[in-house]
Structure 1
Amino acid sequence: MSVAGMLREIAAVGADPTRGGFSRAGYSGADRELREWFTGHATARGLDLERDRNGTLWAWWNPGGSTQRAVITGSHLDSVPGGGGYDGPLGVASALAAVDLLRNRAVVPEHPIGIAVFPEEEGSRFGVACLGSRLMTGAITPERALALTDRDGDAFADVARRDGLDPAHLGPDPERLSRISSFVELHVEQGRGLIDLGEPVAIASSILGHGRWRVTVDGQGNHAGTTLMDDRRDPMVAAARMIVEIRDLARATPDARATIGRLEPVPGGTNVIASQVRFWIDIRHPDDLVTAALIAETRDRVLAAAVAEGCRSEVREESLSPTVDFDLGLRETLRGTLADAPELGTGAGHDAGVLATAVPTAMLFVRNPTGISHSPEELVEDADAELGAVALADVLQGLAAPPQTRRSTEHMMAR
């Protein structure tokens, strides 16, 4: 079945009539429906299914019965609020299609091929991106993960339990990681690199270092009509000052990106001066030392803006990922398979970046003709989606199949 055909099957799941696009938060009803969709496709292909203790789904094609030196591909199915339809699901559907292509070529893998579907990659529900892969690699402790809460105040511990996971068993899984020889994630490109190059598929070189910080500003809640302007300690005004300062700081730092995409006033009434405002900062830069300096300066400016308005403030780190340079040996192997594919870095985080601390990882990007992501305008044309699946199949064949079964194929550059 084509990649485009599989994606059309889930085109209504999590559709958001208010924001547009899709809202598929981790462990939500939409997320469960998407996991059932994947399970159905994996079962139809005779793949062996399992769900690990951290909530990751695994579908195994294992003709030889070995459990060692597994070659893994896959991605995630959750989305940001009002996100596009390709960020995550494209990589999962392409992985299924790649298995179909390899079977059509009569390839018999020497090493098992697995498709992984990681939970809560976007972090849109519990605030920490790549939660499943972070738990598996030990990048987040189970204690911290279980204490995370969503917007409704539900703790991850309770949500995980209702979803069939045992909170007592969450955490690092070194035995599973030791069986993985490589992980290759295919993903929609979240920028314009391939548009400008006129190519359908690229090999990833690196991921910018990035982190998320929560800012809490406490002031004095009061009546909008009876409180004179000079008598106010308004955390919303302080937050506004902070947001502009953060924007200006990023503008003055070459290659930096700073975003405030979420702001929550308490209590949130139109005729009420807020008593508290929370907002979240996303900061990214290719140099980890610069990222550290940026957040240190951000803390100073946040504190100064709070004092200027008679408020108090706190900046708390929620996640931090250093700059990732993908495995050189694995990238060289991909270049040998996809000789015409360019190499591109990305400013977006991925499970592949988290897994890079534990196993050799690589990524493929598929052209996005809009250059827009995390938005309903995100797009992959059907023809490029199929070329991406062929490129992924070629890569998996090179990594998992014995030499005598490898044969030249018309891969994605034959267009």
Structure 2
Amino acid sequence: MKLILGISGSIAAYKAAHLTRLWIKQGAEVQVLMTDSASSFISPLTLSTLSKRAVHSDVHSETGWNNHVELGLWADALIVAPATANTLAKLANGLCDNILSAVYLSARCPVFVAPAMDVDMWHHPATQENIRRLQAHGVHVIPVGHGELASGLVGDGRMAEPEDIVAFVAQVLEQPRPLQGKKALVTAGPTFEPLDPVRFIGNHSSGKMGIAIADALAAKGAEVTLVLGPSHYRPQHQNVKITQVMSAEEMYDACDEVFGDTDIVVLAAAVADYRPKSYSPTKIKKKEGDMSLELEKTTDIAVTLGQKKRKGQVFVGFALETNDEIKNARLKLERKNFDFIVLNSLQDPGAGFGHDTNKISILDASGAVKTFPLKSKTAAAEDIVAEIAGAANQNAQ
């Protein structure tokens, strides 16, 4: 097991020595990263002696910018302990001014944070918002302890004890992997259908939901190919291979290439139904009067792949509806040969495009409907993947 232990500037940093020893005794490789302020609380020499590895602390060093990418890909898990309010804010908002935050942005592995701060800082709305944002990004937050704090106050905010951190990380990393050996295909994001070199027809999909599903499938052991339309977001898990596309036709070609060798297919992308019939190689100039566009249908990826579906494949679609949601989703499920379909509605506040949360219902071919409350897209992805795993294992029997 290859672990990165990130230490930020808190009095709780002294516990990092014991934490390192516990993992080393279990046979793990531990690479320690420290912020500048962390070295005021514990010596890098102490940690390098215990870990038997040089401690990295300066992203601007001669090797720092190369190491942060290499380390992010090397690790099986990244644990930030202690994670101060300042470090949590940086990670939640994508700031990158030290080796720890740089490695976090490069990591494609499970990430854990063990917060450590005074009680009022912990309960401040800004800190709690950063915690929610990190959780929405798939970060595992290790619960804080209650007790006497460095300020002399008593309350929440103590970093969890090293033994509890080790147990928490082990519980997550050792979760059952029911999809081990399965191959999965996931689509996510929008498609852009070009009109000229400047303009296109597209939609507001961020790709967050499909990316969360790809990560959740990989965490359950699947080997995942993610066909991703234009999106600023990327999966975290190292077992997700990304195929980047732009248009509906490119997305179909990428899916068709791997579909026959795939056990699980999740079509979560918001694919354009129409594209401009003709493309102008030069920018279309504005003229007097109105402008009309002639459109033609794009390939219906779900229908086309559904006709090729083989026995034992789990085939999952998505429906975003504004009215008659259940009825329309049911019709789509039957027409496209899905095993089940995930319905989300634009009528639900906090759900759909652009949000970090979603409220879903899952309809299967037998007529059953499961409805879930509003939750983070990461948590919603876990619900969807649980259904997929159940169907995949049933097919294997």
Q: TM-score normalised to the size of structure 2?
A: 0.22
Larger-gyration structure (1/2): 2
Indicate the structure whose relative CO is greater, using CA pairs within 8 Å and at least 6 residues apart: 1
